[in-house]
A and B are shown apart, each in its own frame.
Chain A
């Protein structure tokens, strides 16, 4: 069965600094990897995905993520953080090889951008 881990409950970054939100995964086959953002009392918004191809994927709002197969990681990054980036971020994984592949989410990382 697939699994995903977000080792940090909270990440604090000063505005203008680069940010990284960590994610590691485990699947039997090839992973489909996703990042979502959630603002208070709202649903999740899709940010970006990795299916195949270039290991660096770019998404919405200036976010990008790097797929690292050897480290089974898919960290979310942004070169310069904005206060408006403060939110709850979820990493998710889907196993391409598993017919019953549901999308599994990490527990979430709360990102605080300090002005």
Chain B
């Protein structure tokens, strides 16, 4: 069974640009979570999608947005990138209880 896959694995963007990160959940999982992990810090909750709808949102500005597609894959969009957006972005999928994580996308903003 394939795990959670994220693309790309690494990304370098310039301040002010926009970026789209992608996540494919484990087959049969309908929930997708997005977390931001800045260097040396814990996981900050960004977004939660379930059955195509946004269920909850963390304390992040509106330039962080996303969506979930009918096949339950998900995108995270970040507009007007700032230097402090540099982080590891982790996606996780879940069916009922525990979540399973992808390897993450390392975003560097220069």
Contact = CB atoms under 8 A, between A and B. Distances in A.
B72 interface: no
Interface in A94-115: 94, 100, 102-108
Contact of B106 (A41, A46, A90, A104): A41
Contact of B97 (A32, A105, A106, A108): A32
Interface stretch (B11-19, B42-50, B73-81): B42-50
A44 interface: yes
Interface residues of A, number: 22
Contacts of B98: 32, 34, 46, 49
Tell me what chain B mostly uses at the interface: helix, strand, loop, or mixed.
strand
A103 B90 CA distance: 13
A102 B55 contact: yes
A107 B90 contact: no
A107 B97 contact: no
A9 to B, nearest CB: 10
Tell me what chain A mostly uses at the interface: helix, strand, loop, or mixed.
strand
A100 B43 contact: no
B104 interface: yes
A107 B106 CA distance: 19
14 contacts: A41-B88, A42-B103, A42-B104, A43-B104, A44-B90, A46-B98, A46-B99, A51-B97, A100-B55, A102-B48, A102-B56, A103-B45, A107-B41, A108-B43
